[in-house]
Amino acid sequence: MKHQTIRKSFEGFLRGHSLKMTPQRRRVFEKTFETHEHFSAEQLYGWLREEEGPAVSRATVYRTIGLLLEGGFIDSLDKGRGELVYEHTLGHKHHDHMVCLECGRIEEFHDDAIEELQREAARRRGFQIVNHDHRLLGYCRACVRAGHAAAALKPGPRAASKLDPKPGAESGPGTRKN
């Protein structure tokens, strides 16, 4: 999908919410679609501060990201490290992510066999898929070679994991204690 077409769609989305494409929103939009990497809201804010142009507040960055998400112009990805990252997906083929818990590296991949298994699982259950995301959390090749994964996977009463809650942490909604 062409950049101009996406921008016009976003402008229409904004009008539908009684909002305008301000110079600040335009800068956030343009930078979002200019980058071809995953980025956090804070990274985006930093990039905009370094460049010439109308000043953009941190709040405007976060609000505009919220609008871009709501409109389906970008997707978010939880890296399992307490911060969401974003990517523009319009005009790009579907892909999934492998996220390194040590260094934060994100590797995109597509596997037709996995996609078919998901469709078949949904079909067997009478479930109609609208959208999905698939995220694998683990350790990239470089971190495995450096020995970072071995430390996190040492056996014990309960295998250590960067995703496990801290001892004494309260369980959140929808969680069970064993």
pLDDT tens per residue across span 139-172 = 999 999 888 776 666 654 444 444 444 444 443 4
pTM over 0.85: no
Q: According to the model, what pLDDT value does residue 83 have?
A: 81
Per-residue pLDDT, 104: 83
Give the count of domains, the chain: 2
Q: Are residues 87 and 97 in the same domain?
A: no
Q: Are strands 96-100 and 135-138 parallel, antiparallel or unpaired?
A: parallel
**Residue 155 sits in a domain of what CATH number?**
3.30.1490.190
Instruction: Tell which of 91, 120, 140 closes a domain.
Output: 91
178 located within any domain: no
DSSP H helices in the chain = 3-16, 23-34, 41-50, 58-70, 112-124, 141-145, 148-152
**Whether 80 and 9 share a structural domain:** yes
Give the Cβ contact number of residue 170 at 10 Å.
6
Q: Is residue 152 part of a domain?
A: yes
Q: Is 73 in the same domain as 97?
A: no
User: What sign has the CA pseudo-torsion 48, 54, 57, 63?
Assistant: negative
Residues 73 and 120 in one domain: no
- The reply to whether 70 and 102 lie within a common domain is no
- Asked if the structure places residue 38 within a domain, the reply is yes
Question: Are residues 29 and 98 located together in one domain of the fold?
Answer: no
In sequence order, what are the residues at sequence separation of 6 or more whose Cβ sits closer than 8 angstroms to the Cβ of residue 158?
Answer: 164
Looking at the structure, tell me whether residues 77 and 16 fall in a common domain. yes
**Residue 171 belongs to some domain of the structure:** no
Note whether 139 and 152 are within 8 A (CB). yes
SS3 track for 10-59: HHHHHHHCCCCCCHHHHHHHHHHHHCCCCECHHHHHHHHHHCCCCCCCHH
Total residues found in the chain within this entry: 178
Structure tokens at 47: 């990039």
Domain C-terminal end among 91, 123, 141: 91
- What is the pLDDT at residue 160? 44
The three-class DSSP label of residue 97 is strand
Q: Which domain holds residue 23?
A: 1-91
pLDDT at 155: 58
For the chain (178 residues), the mean pLDDT of every run of 10, in chain order, is 89 97 96 91 96 95 96 88 84 81 85 90 94 85 85 53 44 38
